[in-house]
Amino acid sequence: MMTRLSVNINKVATLRNARGGNLPDVEQFARDCERFGAEGITVHPRPDERHITRQDVLLLRDIVTTEFNIEGNPQSQFTELVLAVSPAQVTLVPDGLDQLTSDHGWDTKANLDYLIPVVRRFREADIRVSLFVDPIPEMVEYARKAGADRVELYTGPYAEMYDHDPKAAIAAYRPAAEAAKTCSLGLNAGHDLNLRNLNALVTAFPWIDEVSIGHALIADALYLGIEETIRRYKYTIHNYEITTD
Ligand code: PXP
């Protein structure tokens, strides 16, 4: 099994929105990421449309040919948009309106009664559901009880720990990663992953189905270009050279 790279293109929309025109062109960027080897495209439309807009999501529906993953808090506007677009996957995140970025996962135990019908609604529409959780085995187990197909482990703390103690960072995530396997849940990972910390994670947990990466990858692309950046991320994940012709 191979870990797939889903490129989160939020930051490209942030840059575009800074001037109000269509530069850079977010939709063309998604096409090019796929052409250069991305195995998925992720967006996180927020109610204030500060990066990805509702219109972007509707346009991307007809553009993305790999796995389209839409992240967000399942309030009514988000849910209607996702059901209209019918992506391969929805990643449910408990983020607040004023949050800079996602910084914690669901308490799937405390929110079980809330999550069960929410998850069911997407699954009945044939959309795979992933729940964003902190690396706690119990949160993974309750994601299973909520009916999710996958969990996405919040890797912000992993990235922070990795910089001073890589072994401890992996050890801290092992119980939750193993729990996903034991529960027969698919496993995604995301947040603050980069070219330094990615290989250790996917090597320790080769059953990770997908990593979704935005901030560091787009920052790397400023220096390397997006084609070379995607090539390097895939090389890092798969440990082999990818040709892009
Ligand atoms: N996963 C989720 C749920 C997120 O909210 C984000 C940020 O939009 C990411 C992954 C990607 O994180 P980063 O931009 O740090 O790579």
- Taking only the tens place, the pLDDT of each residue in 98-135 is 666 678 999 999 999 999 999 999 999 999 999 999 99
Model confidence at 244: pLDDT above 60: no
Q: Would you name the residues annotated as active-site residues? A: 44, 71, 191
In angstroms, the CA 8 to CA 135 distance is 21
- Ligand 1 centre to CA of 61 (Å) is 20
Which DSSP helix (H) or strand (E) runs through 17?
A: helix 10-17
Query: Do 88 and 128 form a contact (C-beta atoms < 8 A)?
Result: yes
Q: Would you tell me the crossing angle of helices 226-238 and 215-224 to the nearest 10 degrees? A: 120
What per-residue confidence (pLDDT) applies to 96? 73
Rg of the chain, C-alpha, whole Å: 17
161-215 pLDDT, tens digit per residue, is 999 999 999 999 999 999 999 999 999 999 999 999 999 999 999 999 999 999 9
Q: Is residue 71 in contact with ligand 1, taking CB distance under 6 Å?
A: yes
Q: Is residue 158 in contact with ligand 1, taking CB distance under 6 Å?
A: no
What per-residue confidence (pLDDT) applies to 45? 96
Q: Which residue do the tokens 């293109």 mark?
A: 9
DSSP assignment, residue 113?
H
What per-residue confidence (pLDDT) applies to 242? 47
Q: Is residue 51 in contact with ligand 1, taking CB distance under 6 Å?
A: no
In angstroms, the CA 161 to CA 216 distance is 17
pLDDT confidence tier of residue 240, bands split at 50, 70 and 90: low
Query: Do 12 and 26 form a contact (C-beta atoms < 8 A)?
Result: yes
What per-residue confidence (pLDDT) applies to 55? 97
- Ligand 1 centre to CA of 191 (Å) is 4
pLDDT confidence tier of residue 238, bands split at 50, 70 and 90: confident
- The structure's pTM equals 0.95
**pLDDT, the chain, mean:** 95
- Collapsing DSSP to helix, strand or coil, 226 comes out as helix
User: Of 78, 91, 101, 103, which is best to mutate to test ligand 1, by the most ligand atoms within 8 angstroms of its C-beta?
Assistant: 101
